[in-house]
Amino acid sequence: MSTFPVSISLSSYGADLVRQRGQGSFIEVLAKAGATRIELREELLTLEDPVSFSLAVQQHGLECVFSSPLELWDAGQSRPNPQLIPTLQRAHAFGAKWLKVSLGYFTEHCDLQNLSACLDQQPVRLLVENDQTSQGGRIEPMLRFFDAVEQQQAPISMTFDIGNWQWQDQSASTAARLLGRHVSYLHCKGVARRPDGKLIAIPPTATDLQGWADLMNHMPHGLTRAVEYPLQGNDLTWLTRQHVQVLARLSHAQQELSHV
C-alpha cells in the first residue's frame, strides 16, 4: 500500500503545552512518529533559537513549514503586507521551505506583479490558506486570488484547510472542485459544534476520513496532508504515530480506512 507524506501542526498539542515545552521539543516526537514535516507556529514561539531549531529539524530528517497568522493583503492596500518579507526571512532562519499565511483583503486592485517579484527573490515558497474569516475563508475571494496567481504565474500555492470552510458556511467539496488544482498542502481537521454554538476542531471520524479521501480526487496526487486537530494524551509519540499512519494511507483510491 502506498503511503504519503504527513505533517503535524504543532498547535495540535495545545497552546499551553507547546509554549511551556518549546516547539523544538516536539521535533524528536514527530521524527519517531514517522512524520515528514513539522509545522512551526509563529504565534506559539517563545524562546526558540532559529539556528538550533533549523539544525535539529535537519538532523531528524524533517521538512519545515512556518505558519504565520499574517494576512497577505491589508484592507485598502494594493501592495502586499509590509511584514511579508520579514516573515519570509524569519521562516528561512528557522529552516522552513514554506511560509503559510492567510489571504486577507484581496481585491482586483492588489498588485500581484509586485508580490510575484518579491517572492522570486526569496528561497521560501508561499502558501496561502483559507482561514476562518469572511475575507479569507470563503470560496469566491480565494478563487479570484488563485485565478490571478495563475495568470501572473506567481510562485504561490494553496493550503486547503478542510475544516475551516465550515466557519463561513462554505462547502468543502465545492471548494475542492474549484480550487483543488492549486493545492499543495492539505490541513485536516474534524469539526464539531459545542453546546454554546462555538465550532471546534476535533479528531476525525471514519466518515470524516472517507470525505477527506473524496476531496483528494480534485487535488494533485500524493500531496502532504497535515494534522491540525487535538493530539492529547500521555504518550504523544504513540498517539502521533497512530494519526500519522492513518493520514499517510489516506487517498482517493483508498476505500478501507483504518480507525485511530
pLDDT 10s digits, 189-231: 999 999 999 999 999 999 999 999 999 999 999 999 999 999 9
pLDDT for 251: 83
Backbone angles phi, psi at 39, to 5 degrees: -105, 105
Backbone angles phi, psi at 255, to 5 degrees: -95, -30
Does residue 255 surpass a pLDDT of 50?
A: no
- Backbone conformation region of residue 88, classed left if phi is above 0, alpha if psi is from -120 to 50, else beta: alpha
Does residue 46 surpass a pLDDT of 70?
A: yes
Could you tell me the residue range of the domain that residue 227 belongs to?
6-249
- Across the range 45-57, mean pLDDT stands at 98
- Quick one: which of 188, 214, 190 has its CA closest to 201? 190
pLDDT for 165: 98
Q: How many domains does the chain have?
A: 1
- Across the range 33-60, mean pLDDT stands at 98
Q: Is residue 258 part of a domain?
A: no
- Across the range 159-165, mean pLDDT stands at 98
- CATH number, domain with residue 174: 3.20.20.150
DSSP, res 36: S
Q: Is residue 198 part of a domain?
A: yes
Does residue 259 surpass a pLDDT of 60?
A: no
pLDDT in tens, 126-156: 999 999 999 999 999 999 999 999 999 999 9
Rg (CA), the chain: 18
End-to-end alpha-carbon separation of the chain, Å? Answer: 18
What is the model's pTM?
0.95
Residue 125 bridge partners (DSSP) = 98
pLDDT for 182: 98
Q: Is residue 197 part of a domain?
A: yes
User: How many C-alpha atoms does 71 have within 13 Å on its Cβ side?
Assistant: 16
C-alpha cell at 47: 524562546
Structural contact between residues 164 and 134, judged by C-beta atoms closer than 8 angstroms: no
pLDDT for 109: 94
Residues making up the chain, counted from first to last: 260
- Across the range 5-18, mean pLDDT stands at 98
Structural contact between residues 161 and 185, judged by C-beta atoms closer than 8 angstroms: no
pLDDT for 2: 75
> What whole-number percentage of the chain has pLDDT above 70?
96
Structural contact between residues 69 and 35, judged by C-beta atoms closer than 8 angstroms: no
